[in-house]
Amino acid sequence: MANNYFQFKQFRIEQSEAGMKVTTDGCFFGASINPVNSGIILDIGTGTGLLALMLAQKTETRIDAIEINQDAYEQARANFENSSWKDRLRIFHTPLQEFQPEDLYDQVVCNPPFFVNSNLGTSNNKNQALHATTLNMKDLAEHSARLLKTDGEIWVMYPQIEMEQFIRIAAENGLYPHIQITLKNTSYGPVFRDIIAFRKNEGNLTKTVDVYIKKSDGAYSEDFVKALKDYYLHL
């Protein structure tokens, strides 16, 4: 029987009630984000709290998180409370569309649901985590722009086709790619996730990185190990 938790070097993610469990690409996303060192970070749709906790390990700044699903909210809140950074982590049980914080954010991060017009499963928690029924691309772009400071940035991860759609929608809301990281399972495989940091000032990409998870012998690649060595227990 699989564990209902994922143990990292400095924190544990309990995930029995969350629709979205800890995934390899989600961990790589969290490790790839360069968090701000001052101001406030917002994690949209935090799920288990994975991204917020990974960023809390890397920065001293305050991190807010929002989550619409009741079970995931309770689980993330417990994960925050049981971490070493509980004094810098806050979570709100609210949809993004209704979130009205007192302050604007220096950085927003989101691993959004991306299935559209797909058959829903029997688990409401999993449906909300995976299907864009409560958080579509338009709402994510529009409200991220609303919540970001003028010089702020938003980090998002989508599959490649969906990311192409989001880039167009983001531009309509004044958000433009700044950093791009592509993720493959192997060096010879297709890109299965795009990670992009968007800013409000239009300009060319300043950094593009291609990473693959495993080498031909099944071992983790050097780039993947470098990204996750401070998190994974056995790296």
69-108, pLDDT tens digit by residue?
999 999 999 999 999 999 999 999 999 999 999 999 999 9
Place of tokens 């969906």: 162
At 15-50, the pLDDT tens digits run: 988 878 899 999 999 999 999 999 999 999 999 999
Please state whether beta strands 148-158 and 191-199 pair in parallel, antiparallel, or not at all (unpaired): antiparallel
pLDDT range class, residue 133, cuts 50, 70, 90: low
**Percent of residues, the chain, with pLDDT higher than 70:** 91
Domains annotated on the chain, with CATH = 5-228 (3.40.50.150)
Strand partners, 212: 184
Strand partners, 109: 43, 155
> How far apart, in whole angstroms, are the C-alpha atoms of residue 198 and residue 175?
6
Please state whether beta strands 5-7 and 12-14 pair in parallel, antiparallel, or not at all (unpaired): antiparallel
Place of tokens 């299935």: 115
At 49-70, the pLDDT tens digits run: 999 999 999 999 999 999 999 9
CA distances from 100 to 35, 97, 150, 219 (A): 22, 9, 17, 45
pTM of the model: 0.89
Provide the 10 A C-beta neighbour count for residue 143.
Answer: 19
Res. 206: pLDDT tops 60: yes
Beta strand spans in the chain (E): 5-7, 12-14, 40-44, 62-66, 89-92, 105-110, 148-158, 176-186, 191-199, 207-214
**Closest to 42 in 3D by CA, of 203, 154, 198, 208:** 154
